[in-house]
Amino acid sequence: MFGDFSNPLIMKGNFRFGFLVIFIWLTEGAWAQSYLNVQVSRGYTLAHHQELRDIQGIPNIYKIDYGFVLNDKAYHEALGLPEAGLSLTFMDHDNSYTGKSLSLSGYMQPQILGNQRHGLFGRLGLGLSYVQNPFDHHNNPLQLAIGSKVNFFGEGQLLYGFWVNEALRVQVQGGITHISNAARKLPNSGLNIVHAGIGASVRLAEESNPAWKSFNHPEVEPELRKWSPYVYGRFGLKSIRVLNYRVFSAGGAGLQGAYRYSVLGSYLLGLDVDYNEGYIQERKEVNRHLDEPISFHRMRWAVVAGHELHMNKLSLVTQVGLYLRRPHPSHPLVYQRYGLLYRVSDKWVLGATLRAHAARADYMEWTLGRKIW
């Protein structure tokens, strides 16, 4: 039923990352209000590459959440006491090449504008998605968006809600959902689905029990207006299409300074280097078919800048990297990094980040970092 996964180490890594994401906000709750939320939406699958036209459709999307208000940390206060919790999303993709999907994610939903009666909310959800019909050479060759049954799930929404009474809120919402496996198994163009719909929220209790309270506790007191140096090591795996989807190792290192300007944020600036065996073998294979081989650089050096959104020990990282020299003439000059870091102690950091070139994933980086001083 669940398919033949040829890379068990990668699958274990995917599950660990997914569970980490799901626990992000479930582990936060102090005694607070709890909610049951439902959404019903219609979507449209974007063909962001020409090869994806065959898998377009008008998906039906059904979502149910269990959420609670976060109210016991400084960053909760800074975000206006956001709602967070666990979400289950079912999609009928209106396309036989994709079939149906079921996703489990953690979400956070702070209020952007409004008051206690009505307001505009933003929502971010991250987790795992099971897709019924991934690519198969013989049985599903036109499915070029999804290469594996288990994938990463990311979602952003805007919601407008109105409290009918103390226990019931009605809402309209719109957003975009992305499902892909971070290039661990090709093809992996990914599903991008825009959607809109209606929903409702029922207050279950004025106070609810905390869940897994030790994960993101105790509260860490930040050192504000100070630069802190970190060194990072990263490891990943990359699948290469021109080599019959073989998987190769990739690794890198980084030296980074982080300037903590507030409870919520830090500015990041640093230097990256990576050695990607998949990229190297791909370039060798391309050169093998050329009369005049194109030279390329095996080590990819770059300067990086970005931002870190702090949620106590957990943080959301977004970065942009600029290669100091273009790895080869047709290689992108800029890359992006998105992901999560978790501070296991005052000095040590664990993380999972996606390295990408525009809309195309490079590889998932499993990260170990240390604060130098």
Q: Looking at domain 226-371, which of 2.60.40, 2.70.98, 1.10.10, 2.40.128 is its CATH number?
A: 2.40.128
Q: Looking at domain 8-208, which of 2.170.150.20, 3.30.1330.20, 2.40.160.20, 3.10.105.10 is its CATH number?
A: 2.40.160.20
Domain ranges of the chain: 8-208, 226-371
Average of per-residue pLDDT values in the chain? 87
In this prediction, residue 299 carries a pLDDT of 95
Once rounded to an integer, what is the mean pLDDT over residues 52-73? 91
* pLDDT of 360 higher than 80: no
In this prediction, residue 239 carries a pLDDT of 84
* pLDDT of 2 higher than 80: no
3-state secondary structure string, the chain?
CCCCCCCHHHHHHHHHHHHHHHHHHHCCCCCEEEEEEEEEEEEEECCCCHHHHHHCCCCEEEEEEEEEECCCCHHHHHCCCCEEEEEEEEEECCCCCCCEEEEEEEEEECEEEECCCEEEEEEEEEEEEEECCCCECCCECCCCCCCCCEEEEEEEEEEEEEECCCCEEEEEEEEEEEEECCCCCCCCCCEEEEEEEEEEEEEEEEEECCCCCCCCCCCCCCCCCEEEEEEEEEEEEEEEHHHCCEEEEEEEEEEEEEEECCCCEEEEEEEEEEEEHHHHHHHHHHHHCCCCCCCCCCEEEEEEEEEEEEECCEEEEEEEEEECCCCCCCCCCEEEEEEEEEECCCCEEEEEEEEEECCEEEEEEEEEEEECC
* More confident position, 17 or 61: 61
In this prediction, residue 3 carries a pLDDT of 36
How do residues 191-245 score in pLDDT, each as one tens digit?
999 999 999 999 998 765 555 455 566 788 888 999 999 999 999 988 888 888 8
Once rounded to an integer, what is the mean pLDDT over residues 97-106? 95
In this prediction, residue 221 carries a pLDDT of 86
In this prediction, residue 269 carries a pLDDT of 98
* pLDDT of 49 higher than 70: yes
